[in-house]
Amino acid sequence: MYPKIWLSPPHMGGGEINYIQQAFNSNWIAPIGDNIDDFESDLASFLDTKKEVVCLSSGTAAIHLALLLAGVKPGDEVICQSLTFVASAFPINYIGAKPLFVDSEPQTWGMCPEYLEFAIKERINKGKKPKAIIYVHVLGMPAKVYQIKAIASKYGINLIEDAAEALGSEYKGEKCGVFGDFSIFSFNGNKIITTSGGGALVCNNLQDKKKVIFLATQAKEINQEYHHECIGYNYRMSNVLAGIGRGQMEVIEDRINKRRENNLFYKEMFVNTDLINLFTDDFNENIKSNHWLNCITISKKAKFNNKDIFNALKEKNIESRSLWKPIHMQPVYKNSKFYGETVSTNLFETALCLPSGSNLTNKDKERIASVLNKFIQ
C-alpha cells in the first residue's frame, strides 16, 4: 500500500526545534516567556498592522475571549455564519448567549451581506439588537469584507473576524486578520502553520490586549495576590509551543506559495470539465486566498457525486473530506434561527476538499491525478 496522503498535515520548517531548545535553556516552560512575545510580534509584522496580537491556547479560546471583550452577556444574541467549522459558534454557548445563523453567498462562500442585514433588521424590529457578528473566511477565501464591515458599523455591532483558516489571505492588499473589532487565528495541526494547538486574537489596542491576557490567565488582580473580582480562564499559549510558531513564521511565505501552487495544480486538472468546479479566487482581482484547502463542487448533472470521489481516493489511501454540515442543520442547534436559503446546504451536498498540504510532493500529485482523471474523461 502506498503511504497515506493527508488532507492538510503539519509541515515543520526545521527552525522550530531551536526555539523550543531556547525555552528549555531558559527554563521558561510556562505560558510566559520570550517565544510568546516574539511570536506575537512576528504575527503583527506579518499582518503589517499596528493592532495588538495575543497568543492563546486555541482559536476557540480566542473566539470566546473576543465575545467577552465585545460585551456579550448571557441571553444576548450573536449572529454567526452557518457554513463554518462548529468551533466558530460553540463559544457563543459558553457564554450562555444565543446564536442566530446566516447563510453564505455563492461567490466567496462567506457570510451573505444581504441576509446579514435582513437578520439584523428583523431582530431590531423584535426589540433585540444582536450583540456581535462572527464571520468566516471559508477555507482561506476572503469573504465580502467591506460589505460586512459596513453593515456592522451601520448598526453599531461588534464584528468578530474568524480568520482561523486565512493566515496570509488578502483583501484589497491588506492581510485577513485585521478586518474585525476582534480577529482570530488558529494554529491547530491542520492549519496553514501550526503550534500543534494554539490560536491568536488580534485586537485594536494595548488596553484590549491587557484585558485579554488578564482573562486568559485566571483574572488575577494586579496588586493583590489571590484576589479575584471576575471569572477568568486558563487560555494563554505555552512558551514551548510558541517556539514552534516562531519557527513556522520563518517559512510562512513558502507555505502560502505552496498552497497556492496546489490550487493551480487542481485548476489545470479541471479546466476542461464543467462537471467539477474548483473553488478558486480568480473571480475578483481584489482578493487573494491562501488556498488553505482546495475544494471542488460536483455538478448535479454528473453521473458521480462527491462521495464517489471520496471513496475512489480512499481506496488509494488518499484523504479527502466533505465540507462541514452547516451549523443550522446540526442537531445541537436545531432550535436556532436561520436566515438564508440553500447556498450552504447545496455546498455541503456537492463539495469535497482535496489534499492541500504545503508538503504535497509531485509524486503525491501524480497519485491524486490518476484517481481524479477517471472522473474527468
Ligand X SMILES: *Cc1c(COP(=O)(O)O)cnc(C)c1O
Q: What does the binding site for ligand X look like in residue numbers (CB under 6 A)?
A: 58-60, 84-85, 87-88, 136, 162, 164-165, 186, 188, 199
* Burial class of 275 by CB neighbour count within 10 A (0 to 12, 13 to 18, 19+): middle
The residue type found at 170 is E
Kindly state the smallest distance separating residue 252's Cβ from ligand X, in Å: 17
Q: Looking at beta carbons only, is 186 or 358 nearer to ligand X?
A: 186
Kindly state the smallest distance separating residue 81's Cβ from ligand X, in Å: 9
Q: Looking at beta carbons only, is 105 or 165 nearer to ligand X?
A: 165
Kindly state the smallest distance separating residue 144's Cβ from ligand X, in Å: 16
Q: Looking at beta carbons only, is 36 or 269 nearer to ligand X?
A: 36
- Scanning the structure block, which residue is given the C-alpha cell 442585514? 117
Kindly state the smallest distance separating residue 160's Cβ from ligand X, in Å: 11
- Nearest residue to ligand X on Cβ basis: 59
Torsions phi, psi for 111 (to 5 deg): -55, 135
Kindly state the smallest distance separating residue 65's Cβ from ligand X, in Å: 12
Kindly state the smallest distance separating residue 78's Cβ from ligand X, in Å: 14
Q: Looking at beta carbons only, is 22 or 103 nearer to ligand X?
A: 103
Q: Looking at beta carbons only, is 47 or 55 nearer to ligand X?
A: 55
Q: Looking at beta carbons only, is 87 or 276 nearer to ligand X?
A: 87
Q: Looking at beta carbons only, is 22 or 239 nearer to ligand X?
A: 239
Q: Looking at beta carbons only, is 61 or 100 nearer to ligand X?
A: 61
Kindly state the smallest distance separating residue 200's Cβ from ligand X, in Å: 9
Kindly state the smallest distance separating residue 34's Cβ from ligand X, in Å: 23
Kindly state the smallest distance separating residue 227's Cβ from ligand X, in Å: 30
Torsions phi, psi for 94 (to 5 deg): -55, -35
**Whose CA is closest to 356, among 205, 140, 200?**
140
Answer whether 355's CB lies under 8 Å from 319's CB.
yes
Q: Looking at beta carbons only, is 87 or 278 nearer to ligand X?
A: 87
Assign 3-class secondary structure to the chain: CCCCECCCCCCCCCCHHHHHHHHHHHCCCCCCCHHHHHHHHHHHHHHCCCCEEEEECCHHHHHHHHHHHCCCCCCCEEEEECCCCHHHCHHHHHCCCEEEEECECCCCCCECHHHHHHHHHHHHHCCCCCCEEEEECHHHCCCCHHHHHHHHHHHCCEEEEECCCCCCCEECCEECCCCCCEEEEECCCCCCCCCCCCEEEEECCHHHHHHHHHHHECCCCCCCCCCCCCCCCECECCHHHHHHHHHHHCCHHHHHHHHHHHHHHHHHHCCCCCCEEECCCCCCCCEECCCCCEEEEECCCCCCCHHHHHHHHHHCCECCECCCCCHHHCHHHCCCCEECCCHHHHHHHHEEEECCCCCCCHHHHHHHHHHHHHHHC
